[in-house]
Amino acid sequence: MSQIITEEYPNSTVVGFMKLDQTANFYYENTPFSFLDASIHDAKNSKKKLESLANRYCLFNLIKNSYPDLLPLNVLKTRANKPYLEGSLLHISLSHSNQWSAAAISDYPLGIDIQIKTEKIKVVASKFCNEAELDWLSRHDIDGDYLHWLWSAKESLIKAYGLGSVDFRKDLGVLFMEEGKGLGIVDKEKKSYYDLHFQKINNYYFAISTLTL
């Protein structure tokens, strides 16, 4: 059985991190059908299918351990492809990267993202960082950790926003504050603010964004 590392964050947010160490059949057999969708069943790519199944397995166990009275539940998707729990006020988010999967639940809109460390990110930094962020990184980011977190943070902000396409450089902003924390901004039609939390496990970078009150 895959071990799920569970952590609690502010804003009634619970996150589960899990290393993919089982087969697709294991995750399929141990996840309720109501947590799966057609895109998973129809997936041709075996790697993507494994990652998607692991995501739903992680989400199911996170809810089972944190909110068992809410089960059974159906996991559906909005037109913008954002997953949600049918008939529940809880918000959810999913992410995976290579050998890690993550799921998050919260009373507030949220997003979670995982990125594996890669040197290629430096080549595309100007495509997702605005000038202020690039300037800050040039003075503070010695080993590339913050660049990975910034990318992951913006991916999580898109998921938390959940209303369609945004411009990474123009519409999204990330401010790093004290260690492991930050502020995310989505400036699309109206400005909204998100609490950011960062973590690194081995060569994987995690970012969680939760809408502030």
Q: What is the rounded distance in angstroms from the CA atom of residue 78 to the CA atom of residue 76?
A: 7
* pLDDT tens profile 160-187: 999 988 999 999 999 999 889 999 999 9
Q: What domains sit in the chain, N to C, each tagged with a CATH number?
A: 4-107 (3.90.470.20), 117-211 (3.90.470.20)
For CA atoms 178, 184, 75, 27, give the dihedral sign: negative
pTM: 0.93
* pLDDT tens profile 131-150: 999 999 999 998 899 999 99
pLDDT band at 106 (very low <50, low <70, confident <90, very high): very high
